[in-house]
Amino acid sequence: MGTMTDSHTSTNTEEAPEQSMASRGESRSRRPDSDAFREFMGSGWGPRITKEVERCGAADYLPQRAAKAGEPFAGERLVIPAGTYKVRNNDCTYRFRAYSAFAHLSGLGGEREPDSVLVLEPKENGSHEAVLYFKPRTSRSAQEFYSDPQYGEFWVGARPSLEEVHQEMGLRCAHIDTLPDALAKDAGRVKLRIVRGVDASIEAMVNEIREQAGLPFGEEARSADEAFEERLSEIRLRKDAFELAELARAVEVTRAGFEDIVRVLPRAVGHRRGERVVEGAFGAVAREEGNGLGYDTIAASGNHANTLHWIDNDGPVNEGDLILVDAGVEVDSLYTADITRTLPVNGRFTEVQARVYQAVLDACEAALARANEPGTRFRDVHDAAMFVIATRLREWGLLPVSVEESLSPAGQQHRRWMPHGTSHHLGLDVHDCAQARREMYQDALLEPGMTFTIEPGLYFRADDEAIPAEYRGIGVRIEDDVVVNEDGSVTRISEDIPRTIDDVEAWIARAQGR
Ligand code: GLY
Ligand code: MN
Ligand code: MN
């Protein structure tokens, strides 16, 4: 640490700095840039050691997805950016994770492909062809090879070629530098729509082209753009076979993560931040087996379970408490699971914990049974769970009004102890299809291919004076992921993760060798 009176510190605040602020990041190193160095760096490299390109399982589904996305917009050019890097601090960025609609239509997962753009190019017959614009690898004789920390092969590894991505995904591929001309071609006769809020530079490019072509742009184009965004959300409400397989895989890996959580519980008890031990155990599996977490893990022991989005996870895990863990692995294709289990830390539920837990489990079963009935709408699943929750609260003397009054729209007193919804669609986003219209979501009939959660809970906060002391500090949620089958029946794809009281106790005993 320097001192303020350091003899090198200039006191003249008027003096302009000789080195621009923008280049100060270069202060920490010196890169040679002689002609001799550049020539030497660009030569003498043998063939790259690359893997054989395999066709991706998603490739067969991409034409169908593009057709659905473009259907209402015949003759229009539709632009879906992947997004760009987000700064974490200084020159450190977060790992890249593509915008979900881009992942859906390009099939690309993992950390692919920052700054790329998928264009649904209109065809004469009213359909669209998906074209992927990205930055392919460059020659190692270019300076970028060793000098660009974001794209240089020496820094981030070899990027794919246009041909390789074409082989992998079946998409027509083009260099990102050709995007401006491709977007501007016939603009005016051809209208453009773009998904907003994903990549500001591509949005500016599209707006400039629209303005020059005399098309509505900026705010004038907002509703047209948003209609496209809505469409991209709604075509994901029913998953195709590839997506269902990926979701099943995400749940399977999440199951393995929960196995490790149960194994690590004794170590968590002995640690001052036991919740972090639990979070870490799950996170390791998520990175080893998948792309990572679908969302930040909630590891909430004791009263922390009553903070719905408890992600600090810096508390202890105490014997005799319940720990609520809400966690999901996002697999490499970017589909995620979303599972909650509430576990007795010492392996046995107390009588009152079991009472609360069983009520939540009964609500799960009622919701699942309703989902299995023909003619069920998405919102009915929540109503079925709430009937059980309100009934139990009334039986225990906690609900100050009748069950009927509480369930009426003007009442809802039971929601004091369960303020969140029971279900949401699940897929590339943990809260999937978020731009779908209400009539396509809450009010829609359940249909084959829909994948959603069932996750009732009861949260009795430690400072809740409206309830007897024995309930205070107990928080329970049980969350499963379900799929609607072709025949309309519903399968709980997380059924292998134990959840009845007996099964959970046996699971903990088994995992801990008791
Ligand atoms: N993990 C977020 C949720 O359950 O919706
Ligand atoms: Mn959920
Ligand atoms: Mn969850």
- So what's the pLDDT on residue 26? 82
| Structural domain for 392, as ranges | 241-512
Same domain, 253 and 228: no
* d(CA 174, ligand 3 centre) in Å: 39
Residue 404 domain flag: yes
Of 195, 212, 236, the residue that ends a domain is: 236
Both tokens of residue 65? 């997805």
Same domain, 166 and 315: no
Ligand 2 center to residue 424 CA distance, Å?
Answer: 6
Mean pLDDT of 417-434: 98
Instruction: Point out the domain boundary residue: 236, 268, 299.
Output: 236
Q: Is 113 in the pocket of ligand 1 (CB under 6 A)?
A: no
Q: Does the pLDDT value for residue 15 go beyond 70? A: no
Claim to verify: residue 177 and residue 251 sit in the same structural domain: no
Mutate to test the pocket of ligand 1, among 325, 326, 482 (most ligand atoms within 8 A of CB): 326
Q: In the Cβ-directed half-sphere of 212, how many Cα atoms lie within 13 Å?
A: 12
Query: Which DSSP letter does residue 52 get?
Result: P
Q: What's 461's DSSP letter? A: -
Q: Is residue 126, in this structure, part of any structural domain at all?
A: yes
Torsion of CA 439, 441, 445, 447, to 10 degrees: 130
The whole-number pLDDT of residue 27 equals: 86
Is the Cβ atom of 327 under 6 angstroms away from ligand 1? no
Task: Share the mean pLDDT of the chain.
Answer: 95
Which CB contacts under 8 angstroms, 24+ apart, belong to 463-470? 466/398, 466/400, 466/416, 467/398, 468/397, 468/398, 470/352
Query: What single letter denotes the amino acid at residue 285?
Result: V
- 494 in Cβ contact with 471 (< 8 Å): no
Looking at the structure, tell me whether residues 287 and 168 fall in a common domain: no
Of the two residues 8 and 136, the one the predictor is more confident about is 136
Ligand 1 contact, 455 CB (< 6 A): yes
Q: Out of 279, 282, 422, 455, give the residue to mutate to test ligand 1, the one with the largest number of ligand atoms within 8 Å of its CB.
A: 455
Say how many Å lie between the CA of residue 380 and the centre of ligand 3: 20
Per-residue pLDDT at 9 exceeds 70: no
Q: Which residue among 202, 236, 270 closes a domain?
A: 236
One-letter identity of residue 35:
D
Whether the CB of 360 sits within 6 Å of ligand 1: no
Give me the pLDDT at residue 122, please: 98
Q: At which residue do the structure tokens 């225990």 appear? A: 396
**Residue 270 sits in the same domain as residue 179:** no
Residue 459 near residue 260 (C-beta atoms within 8 A) = no
Which residues make up the environment of ion ligand 2, defined by Cβ < 5 Å?
338, 453
For ion ligand 3, residues whose CB falls within 5 Å: 326, 338, 479
**pLDDT at res. 16:** 65
338 lines ligand 1 (CB under 6 A): yes
Q: How confident is the model at residue 386 (pLDDT cuts 50, 70, 90)?
A: very high
Regarding whether 215 and 305 lie in a shared domain, the answer is no
What total of structural domains would you count in the chain? 2
Q: Give the three-class secondary structure for 207.
A: helix
Do residue 186 and residue 282 come from a single domain?
no
- Give 3's pLDDT tier (boundaries 50, 70, 90): very low
Distances (CA, A) of 230 to 74, 198, 235, 453: 16, 14, 9, 21
Our answer on whether the CB atom of 295 is closer than 6 Å to any ligand 1 atom is yes
Q: Residue 6: which pLDDT band, with cuts at 50, 70 and 90?
A: very low
Q: Indicate whether 52 belongs to any domain.
A: no
Cβ of 326 closer than 6 Å to ligand 1, yes or no, is: yes
Q: Could you identify the atom of ligand 1 that is nearest to the CA of residue 424? A: 5
Residue tagged 């082209």 (tokens): 209
Confidence band of 14 (pLDDT split at 50, 70, 90): low
Over residues 394-406, mean pLDDT: 98
User: To the nearest whole percent, how much of the chain has pLDDT over 90?
Assistant: 91
Residue 262 one-letter amino acid: V
Q: How confident is the model over 489-514, as pLDDT tens digits? A: 999 999 999 999 999 999 999 987 77
pLDDT at 4 over 70: no
Atom of ligand 1 nearest to the CA of 420: 5
Residue 13 has pLDDT above 70, yes or no: no
If asked whether residues 434 and 381 sit together in one domain, one would say yes
Judgement on whether residues 245 and 226 belong to the same structural domain of the protein: no
Identify whether residues 417 and 385 lie together within a single domain.
Answer: yes
pLDDT band at 1 (very low <50, low <70, confident <90, very high): very low
* 318 CA distance to ligand 2 middle (Å): 25
How many Å apart are CA 18 and CA 474, to the nearest integer? 62
Between the CA of 180 and the centroid of ligand 1 the distance, in Å, is: 39
- Best residue among 478, 479, 481 to mutate for probing ligand 1's pocket (most ligand atoms within 8 Å of CB) is 479
Q: Above pLDDT 70, what percent of the chain?
A: 97
Residues 388, 248, single domain; the answer is yes
Alpha carbon 32 to its chain centroid, in Å, reads: 42
The neighbouring-strand residues paired with 46 are none
Q: Is the pLDDT of residue 5 over 50?
A: no
DSSP annotation of 425:
B
